Structure 1
Amino acid sequence: MGLKIVRYKKDGDLRWGVLSGEQILDVENDSGTLAEFLKEGVDQARATLDEPPSDTVDLKEAVLASPVTRPANIVCQGANYSSHRQESGMTADRPEFNLIFGKADSALCSHDSDVIRPAGVKLLDYEIELGLIIGNDISGPVDVTNENLHHHVAGLVIMNDISARDVQLPEGQWLRGKSYRTFAPAGPFLYILDEDEYPKIHDLELNLWVNDELRQSANTNQLLFKPEETLTELSRVMDFSPGDVLLTGTPGGVAMNLSKADLEAATKITSPLSGKVEGFLDAQTDNTDYLKDGDVIRASIKSTDASIDLGEQKNKVVAQK
């Protein structure tokens, strides 16, 4: 069984811990970043489980921080489930190219932080995603396969790719529309995979609720571009460092629901921005699924046999003050 790693507050400081049941065992590691922790912290966490300290912290009473730390590249796959492609006005088929974009690491927040709706954003959306944590440097072309995926990916984390749709689509500003502060809840913990668990990456169940209404439900076996394929492709373009994250895409069930005509009108480069925004807002007038102040988002990811459980996020939407 893999390890559940947390960052938690202890005596006013952020510490690394490993879960033993519902108890946090402090790991003797002072790393300030996930990248530093991955160098020796995983082995130290295993040793801590073998010889647990007498002083533990109850998980339910702990204040947790995001296990993903800055600096980190957050590289995202877009429209990587057929169900999400359809509801976004695209064809359901696997496209000719892998849609890749970025998200600022300043958007990171904890699994229970408030999600702050920026002033002026009217169409706030949720996107549950499986995050793959890079474990080793990728500084040139590599051929990633199911057999060697463990050399490149250290573990898994739940993330929510919160999106301001009225910025993302009419402006074409994917980075800005998805990078406002608090737009990347992560955790509650990082799951470090054992080598024999890597095949289960392809059989994880994703579920997201808004105010206890199930909105998104899918399995990672539905991913159009698989993790090993995507890492192989991106290794020919860019570098990855330990602690970076690859978000693998969100399934259908988001608030945004567009026809092909809606999508084309909202994203037409030659159209004036004001007209695109007005038309996009009009097209979504009757859509009541967008996030509102006070809404509570819950998200969970676990394997079908429940041997891997990434915990649960619970974030409340609040207006920017």
Structure 2
Amino acid sequence: MGTKLLRFKHKGNTYWGVFEKQVHIVEHEAKSLHDILSNGREAIELAKRNERVISEEEITLLSPVTEDSNIFCQGTNYSKHREEAGFTKQKPPYNLLFTKASSTLTSATADIVYPSHIQLLDYEIELGVIIKNNITVPTKITDNNIGDYIDGFVIANDLSARDVQIVEQQWFKGKSYRGFCPVGPYIYLLDKKEIHYLDQLELHLQINGETRQRVITNQLLYKPAETLTEMSEIFNLKTGDLILTGTPGGVCLRLDSEIINMIYDNAITHQDKIDYFIKTQQHNGYLKPGDIMRLEIKSTDGVIDLGVQENKLIQATDKY
């Protein structure tokens, strides 16, 4: 079985821990995910057997992915979501890659501030994979060797301000507000024999108890081995980096050729585009303050369980 690695606060101090019914403290002062994965393996293993434990109720969860990690993302990587976004459902000729700011990272239980000027906030459940070893040269990654490059799995929610992302055509900006990437509750560090579960994980997202997204990862169009191979040909990846593999159908966003043509028409004013876009989207069930997002990822046979992520959206105030 794999290891459930979490990061948390207890009595004002920050710790790494291993979750096994109770929280076993890892005796290592790593400040970052990169550090604990690079230098703290022995301490993680020892934590499973030590007696320095805390009950889950006594801790405050933090994001197990730390802000020194890069967040690399795949877009429109499931057929149904491609159709929602105005594309054909077939696998496209290229992998759509983008990034999110690492300051979006927050915990699996934190309240998420709904920016006051955003009108169309959308959710996106995604399987996150954690990079195991630095990749600094073009590398052929296959189903046979991918266990050398993926360390673990984690739940992520790629929250997206669609009225910025789509109208301004800025994916980075629309997805990079603080708190727009809840991660966790923990990273499931894989035993090498478990890497085949990449194709057997079920993603499930609910809003206020209503199922909105549900899919199994065997439906990914660009799978992790192919994606990491391509990434390695372009840029470096380091231990602890987070790859978001794409969201399935069931988001609030709905695009068609008429909307897309409107957005790209430079003769139309920005305000007219905003007004038109909001009118087309306003009945699609977008998030609002007070909504509760519940995300789960489990293997279809129940062997791997990434826990539960549950975040409430709160209205922005002068405090923020």
Partner of 1:24: 23
**Counterpart check, 1:315 vs 2:311:** yes
What is the TM-score with the length of structure 2 in the denominator? 0.96
SS in 1 for 2:136: coil
| Contact 2:200/2:218 (<8 A) preserved | yes
SS at match of 1:209: strand
Cα offset, 1:135, TM superposition: 1.2
Q: CA deviation at 1:267?
A: 4.3
Q: Which residue of 2 aligns with 1:34?
A: 33
Q: CA RMSD in A?
A: 1.2
- After the TM superposition, which parts of structure 1 deviate over 4 Å for at least 4 consecutive aligned residues? 267-271
Instruction: Identify the match of residue 198 of structure 2 among 196, 201, 211.
Output: 201
Match of 1:171, SS state, is coil
Q: Distance in 1 between matches of 2:146 and 2:262?
A: 40
Deviation (angstroms), 1:58: 1.4
Q: What does the per-residue CA deviation read over 1:17-74, in whole Å, with 9 as the maximum and x for residues that have no partner?
A: 1012x2000111100000000013233222222x321x31112432110000011110
Deviation at residue 274 of structure 1 after TM alignment? 2.1
Q: Distance in 1 between matches of 2:259 and 2:290?
A: 28
Q: Give the % identical residues.
A: 45
Quote the offset at 1:202 in angstroms.
1.0
Deviations 1:118-176 (A, max 9, x none): 12100000000011111111111000111111111111110000000000001011001
Q: Which runs of 5+ in 1 are unaligned?
A: none
195 and 268 in structure 1: CA distance in 2 versus 1, 3 angstrom threshold? farther
Secondary structure (helix, strand or coil) at the match of 1:290 reads coil
In structure 2, runs of 5+ residues without a counterpart are: none
Question: In the alignment, which of 44, 50, 72 is matched to residue 75 of structure 1?
Answer: 72
Q: CA 1:268–1:3 in 2, change beyond 3 Å: closer, same or farther?
A: farther
Q: Give the partner amino acid of 2:10.
A: K
**Cα distance in structure 1, aligned partners of 2:267 and 2:79:** 28
Cα pair distance change 1:124/1:237, threshold 3 Å: same
In structure 2, the residue matched to 1:52 is 50
Q: Structure 1 length normalisation: TM-score?
A: 0.96
Aligned to 2:298: 302
Matches within 5 A, 1:10-159: 10-20=10-20, 22-49=21-48, 51-53=49-51, 55-159=52-156
What is the total number of aligned residue pairs between the two structures?
Answer: 317
Q: CA deviation at 1:8?
A: 1.3
- For residues 244-292 of structure 1, the C-alpha deviation after alignment (integer angstroms, 9 at most, x for no partner) is 11100000001112223223323456643222212111111332x1001
